[in-house]
Amino acid sequence: MAEDRPPTIDPVAADRWQRRAPAHSPWLHEEVGRRMEERLEWIRREPASWVDWEPVRGGLAAHARVAQRYARSRCLVVEPHHEAAARAALAPSLWQRLRGDVTTFGDAPDGAAQMLWSNMRLHTSADPQQLLARWHRALEADGFLMFSCLGPDTLRELRALYAALGWPPPSHEFTDMHDWGDMLVHTGFAEPVMDMERITLTFETPARLVAELRELGANLHPQRFPALRGRAWRRTLEEALGRDLRGAEGRLALTFEVIYGHALKPQPRVKVGEKSTFSVDDMRRMLQRPPQA
């Protein structure tokens, strides 16, 4: 994979979507978050502090599951676009305030978290390597990243339908899990573990399918149709959906490929040479590292 390989995402459209996306958690995001939270069973180390990156869209119920699992851990929520909604949804109870169990909000300081959790965010980033680098900085050495995103088989039925009608793509392209693994290593993470599954959602009507897609995201492809669509186009779309996507049970089916990723932030390595320079924090971490047998 080339280091500068970009996704097919229009950065202006991506920024606009992040600011204007509905301030609630889509069902699919919550379901993916539930499945990813179950994978924390594999992690033996309980983080003393963790960051949830944009949980309003990523899944507030999933956030609650992780917070319950790590009830003794400090949590920082990074929510640049929907902080008011996050504060309202995650307002602590009286008992939580008495225990000092209060979620904080703001930007993540460097090296402060032992886990960073990001559910269904990465595939909408116009510069994913920059976002991965930001997550890497937020973690302390030996901290770990848990993330999920959509993969390239997502909406394959809709892509085929649009191509058959001679229309531009219905969405931007989604990155393969092997490329995500390469980007993690390039960013400085170690031991990436990637996994994927396909989830099929079914819908009773074309109108319900279109409404769900609008909740999930926007078409960020640079070559998307540049103007507003009319009623005639909408009728053509719904007729094609009803004809081409209807399965044996009479419902419309769409595939979503979901990628799960886990990676560690390794201890810093000192390059040995005539002159070596490293930070005080790096020195402190190396001195605190237990000796290897």
Residue 282 domain flag = no
Q: What is the three-class DSSP state of 162?
A: helix
Condensed to tens digits (0 to 9), the pLDDT of residues 215-272 reads: 999 999 999 988 778 899 999 999 999 999 998 889 999 999 999 999 999 998 766 5
CA gap 3, 207 in Å, rounded:
40
Tokens of residue 224, six digits:
């998307």
Residue 71 domain flag = yes
**Nearest CA to 258 among 216, 195, 191?**
195
Residue 132 domain flag = yes
Q: For residue 24, give the amino acid letter.
A: H
Residue 4 domain flag = no
Q: pLDDT value at position 140?
A: 97
Residue 70 domain flag = yes
Mean pLDDT calculated for residue range 180-205: 97
Residue 75 domain flag = yes
Q: Supply the range of the domain harboring residue 30.
A: 11-268
Report the predicted TM-score, pTM, of the whole model to 2 decimal places. Answer: 0.87
Kindly tell me if the per-residue pLDDT of 4 is higher than 50.
no
CA gap 26, 216 in Å, rounded:
6
Residue 5 domain flag = no
Q: What is the CATH number of the domain that holds 227?
A: 3.40.50.150
Kindly tell me if the per-residue pLDDT of 192 is higher than 80.
yes
Condensed to tens digits (0 to 9), the pLDDT of residues 84-101 reads: 999 999 986 645 555 556
The number of distinct structural domains making up the chain is 1
Residue 3 domain flag = no
